[in-house]
Amino acid sequence: MKIQHKWLLAAAVAMTTTVGFSGAAIADPGDSSDIAVSVEIAPIEEPGVLALSVSANSVALAENGSTLEERQFTGTLPTVTVTDTRTGDEIPDGAAWAVLGNATDFTGTAGQAAISAGHLGWKPNLIDGGDTGLVAEGEEVVTVLDEETQPGNNVGLVDQELLVSTFDSAEVTEGSYTVNAGLTLKTPADVAAGSYSSTLTLSLFE
């Protein structure tokens, strides 16, 4: 009730004040002039970014080139794009970037024994590396069932393997670069039939 009383009192004072000025003179309008007010608002300059994108989130391998001893399945990694919108001033001295990939084991949907990631290999293919010559694809990685094509490269995609890189970020800034890779899965001929799936993770580092 005290709050209500205070409010009523304030209202009464306001009403009294209004009545007290009811006889004040109002000036007649005279000449007028319009003034245009303008402002130029510059866009906010966002810092550039180094980003990775992939054209699709899945790929299906198809049997191709199997023999009596081995079954082989091939496909193409969806196109990977590295985009750098940074200016030279935004890049640390000596910076370099790289995209690395590794796969999980292939898991059977019906309880089949897994196929290890070592049975999956790739051969990177640079689609567009720009004009500097400083962006390059990684070396081929073959499967554990293959003979080496480079020293120690018959390991499959168990650990992080190089897909594409540059050794000088500042020299290739403000550009986009694309790469894919031929994928090959090799298994013994007696591998259990059924559906299998794996996850291939691509990571961009600088």
- Measured distance CA(93)–CA(206) in Å, rounded: 12
pLDDT tens for each residue of 159-194: 999 999 999 999 999 999 999 999 999 999 999 999
Question: Model confidence over 4-16: pLDDT tens digits?
Answer: 322 232 333 333 3
Mean pLDDT for 33-51 is 89
Please say if the pLDDT value at position 144 is more than 90: yes
Q: What is the token pair recorded at 158? A: 């168990």
Percent residues over pLDDT 70 in the chain: 86
- pTM for the structure as a whole: 0.79
How far is it, in rounded angstroms, from Cα 25 to Cα 105?
90
Least confident of 9-13, 56-60, 73-77, 86-90: 9-13
pLDDT at residue 42, rounded to an integer: 86
Which tokens in the block code for residue 204?
A: 């961009």
Mean pLDDT of 31-56: 90
Mean pLDDT for the stretch of residues 127-149: 97
What pLDDT does residue 1 have?
30
Band of residue 45 on the pLDDT scale cut at 50, 70, 90 = confident
pLDDT classification of 197: cutoffs 50, 70, 90: very high
3 state DSSP class of 109: coil
Stretch 30-42: mean pLDDT, rounded? 87
Which one of 2.60.40, 3.40.30, 3.40.50, 1.10.10 gives the CATH number of domain 50-205? 2.60.40
How many other CB atoms are found less than 10 A from the CB of residue 57? 6
Query: Any idea how long the chain is?
Result: 206
Backbone phi, psi, residue 179, to 5°: -155, 150
Q: Report helix, strand and coil shares of the chain as percent, to nearest 5.
A: 15, 35, 50
Reported as a pLDDT band with limits 50, 70 and 90, residue 24 is: low
Q: Which tokens hold the place of 115? A: 């196929």
Q: How confident is the model at residue 32 (pLDDT cuts 50, 70, 90)?
A: confident
What pLDDT sits at residue 19?
Answer: 39
pLDDT of residue 21: 43
Q: In the chain, what is the greatest distance between 2 CA atoms, to the nearest angstrom?
A: 111
Q: What is the mean pLDDT of the chain?
A: 87
**Is 147's pLDDT higher than 70?**
yes
Selection from 186, 193, 173 nearest residue 97 by Cα: 173
Distance CA 105, CA 205 (A): 23
